[in-house]
């Protein structure tokens, strides 16, 4: 039992990583990963929203009329995000300003709705919580990985600290969406390669 609960949590980290395997929510992966600070903040925000939403959806899953379930889930997501916005605006205005319009856009991130529909609406509370958390962790890890590469190569800094010194003539393509797209493409390829090799090894072992 414990083993399968762990699986529910951990699959979101690599095997079903939202950005690198499921290819969901690529928008934030392109738009806010030019610096590690924004990438990390967005990752944590999304983690909070997915987990909270999964919990809510799991709690109300028997009360929701299946004909309008998507609309209800979206309402739930929008409510959670709005609450996050209001709270940040009141208690952490600098963070709120830094996130800008991207905070409101969290509502439409595909991964949140996908987890609600695919998992939370059909599972109990604790597993749904773990699924959301796992997906959130996977998302954040991917966001941070992308941001680190983009910030180091495209700006010569990490979290604002100069790494390469003044003479570094950074290729600006890395802090622009075009470079992010190419980078994410190769990262998806690398993860796919790794998963394929793992599968092949398991098949050889079973044979």
Partner 1 sequence: MSSQTSVQENIYSVSTSPHIKADDTVQKIMWRVIMALIPAAAFGVFYFGLSAFINIAVSIAAAVVSEYLVQKVRKVKVTITDGSAVITGLLLAMCLPPDLPYYMTALGSAFAIVVAKHSMGGLGFNIFNPAHIGRAALMVSWPVAMTTWRTTEISVDAVSTATPLSVLKLEGYDSLVELFGGKTELYKAMLLGTRSGSIGETCTVLLVLGGVYLMYKHIISWHIPVCMIGTVAIVTWIFGPEGLFTGDPIFHMMAGGLIIGAFFMATDMVTAPITKKGQIIFAVGAGLLVSLIRLKGGYPEGVCYSILLMNCVTPLIDRYVKPRIYGTGGGK
Partner 2 sequence: MSDMHHEEKKYSIFQIAMNLTIACLISGVIISGVYYFTHPLAVKNAEMLLKQSMRELVADADDFKPVEGHENWYAAEKGGETVAYLVPGEAKGYGGAVKVMVAVSNDGDIIDFSVTKANETPGLGTKAFEDDFRSQYWGKSSDTLIVTKDPKNTENIQAITGATITSRAVTEAVKEAVDAVLEFTGGE
Alpha carbon distance 84, 44 (integer Å): 12
- Among 108, 110, 176, 188, the residue binding partner 1 under the rule CB under 8 A is 176
> What x/- string results for residues 118 through 157 when contact with partner 1 is judged by CB under 8 A?
----------------------------------------
CA-based end-to-end distance of the chain: 27
3-state secondary structure (DSSP) of residue 167 = coil
Chain position carrying tokens 């963070």: 95
Q: Does 160 bind partner 1 (CB under 8 A)?
A: no
Q: Using an 8 Å Cβ cutoff, are 29 and 179 in contact?
A: no
Q: Which residues of the shown chain bind partner 2 in the complex (CB under 8 A)?
A: 34, 62-68, 71-72, 75-76, 78-79, 82-83, 86-87, 89-91, 93-94, 97, 122, 154-155, 170, 172, 175-176
- φ, ψ (nearest 5 deg) of residue 35: -140, 150
* Six-digit token string for 63: 């009360």
Least distance in angstroms from the C-beta of 83 to partner 2: 6
Binding site for partner 1 (CB under 8 A): 169, 171-174, 176, 178-179, 182, 185-186
């Amino acid at each position: 039992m414990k083993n399968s609960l762990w699986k529910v949590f951990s699959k979101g980290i690599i095997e079903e990583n939202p950005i690198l395997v499921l290819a969901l929510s690529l928008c934030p992966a392109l738009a806010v990963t030019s610096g590690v600070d924004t990438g990390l903040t967005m990752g944590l925000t999304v983690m909070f929203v997915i987990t909270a939403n999964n919990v809510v959806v799991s709690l109300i899953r028997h009360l929701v009329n299946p004909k309008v379930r998507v609309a209800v889930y979206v309402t739930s997501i929008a409510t959670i995000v709005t609450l996050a916005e209001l709270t940040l605006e009141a208690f952490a205005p600098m963070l709120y300003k830094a996130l800008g319009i991207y905070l409101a856009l969290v509502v439409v991130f595909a991964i949140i709705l996908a987890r609600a529909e695919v998992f939370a609406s059909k599972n109990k509370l604790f597993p749904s919580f773990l699924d959301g958390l796992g997906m959130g962790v996977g998302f954040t890890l991917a966001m941070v990985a992308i941001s680190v590469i983009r910030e180091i190569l495209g700006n010569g800094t990490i979290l604002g600290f100069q790494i390469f010194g003044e003479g570094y003539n950074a290729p600006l393509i890395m802090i622009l969406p075009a470079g992010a797209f190419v980078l994410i493409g190769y990262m998806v390829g690398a993860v796919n390669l790794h998963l394929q090799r793992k599968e092949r090894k398991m098949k050889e072992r079973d044979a």
